[in-house]
Amino acid sequence: MSLASGSSGNCYYLGDDEGGLLIDAGIPIRTITKVLRAEGIALDDGHIRGTIVTHDHADHIRTVGVIGGVYHLPVYATTLVHNSITQSRFVQDPIGASRRDISLRTPFEVAGFTVEAFPVPHDSVENVGYHITKGDFSFTLATDIGHPTAIIEDYIARASHVVLEANYDREMLRGGNYPEFLKERVASPQGHLSNEEAAELLARTYHPRMKNVWLCHLSKDNNHPDLCWKSVEQRLFSEGIRVGKDLSLTALRRTTASPMYLLEP
């Protein structure tokens, strides 16, 4: 489930009957608990076994201190990201003993899932995507991508279910109200991925086992879900990949909880 996706906050839940985990916690704890409770999940009932963190920007870490320090759930991040979190003015509660340091491309276990972090270019102290497997199930999440890399392509090509950033439309960004320095930051090789870049990346990495793609982290000022979806759909169609038949494609709403059924519900 996507609890929130965008510059105002990001949080995802992945789980099954045996347990689950959160990916990022950049929204208020009240929102996290409310949305999960509606699905019959509580942070303190033992079902959720931890949170894995992509990077240290506020919209991804705002609540990790509460997750770790108050609910005492493990918080997994690279050492660089953890060190930055301890100094962040956006994280009020210390993670404390819930801190778990991870290494790039070294698998670890959370809630019965095998999780592997891989590097993603972005203007944070460090940023990672996650490749998550369990049995025949394979899932890759990559967000806040400055530019596509061979490593990102490799992990997307391994997955049947993909969450991929499509942050901005180039024309909307170019003609929008952002100051020039911010436009340059967003479009830089350490910024974010455009609709067009996401579409090209998916066109290069699509394989018949790819069943679901969710487009995430859409800008509220420089993108629109329908425009984003259509941009990607058209590029895939040009390669003979039919959305709705060969795979499912969804542009995630920024602040609305969205079910993301990876297997049959």
Q: 119: helix, coil or strand?
A: strand
Strand blocks (E) in 41-187: 48-52, 75-78, 99-102, 108-110, 113-119, 128-134, 137-142, 161-165
pLDDT at 205 (0 to 100): 98
How buried is residue 83: exposed, middle or buried, by Cβ count under 10 Å (0-12/13-18/19+)? Answer: middle
Tell me how many degrees the CA angle 225-159-49 measures, rounded to the nearest 5.
Answer: 90
What pLDDT, in 10s, does the model give residues 40-76?
A: 999 999 999 999 999 999 999 999 999 999 999 999 9
* pLDDT confidence of residue 253: 82
Look at residue 131 and tell me whether its pLDDT is greater than 80.
yes
Instruction: For 242-263, write each residue's pLDDT tens digit.
Output: 999 999 999 998 766 676 655 4
Residues in the chain: 265
Strand order in the sheet with 161-165: 108-110, 113-119, 128-134, 137-142, 161-165, 212-216, 248-251
Alpha helices in 166-242, H assignment, sequence order: 170-175, 180-187, 195-205, 225-238
Q: Which residues make Cβ contacts (< 8 Å) with residue 245, sequence separation at least 6?
A: none
Q: For the chain, first and last CA: distance in Å?
A: 12
What percentage of the chain has pLDDT greater than the value 70? 96
Q: What phi, psi does 49 have (nearest 5°)?
A: -105, 0
Q: Are 264 and 8 in contact (CB under 8 A)?
A: no
Over residues 102-115, mean pLDDT = 98
Residue-wise pLDDT for 223-241, tens only, equals: 999 999 999 999 999 999 9
What pLDDT is attached to residue 265? Answer: 35
Taking 60 as the threshold, does the pLDDT of residue 20 lie above it? Answer: yes
Strand (E) positions, 121-189? 128-134, 137-142, 161-165
Residue 19 pLDDT more than 60? Answer: yes
Is residue 215 within 8 A of residue 196, CB to CB? The reply is no
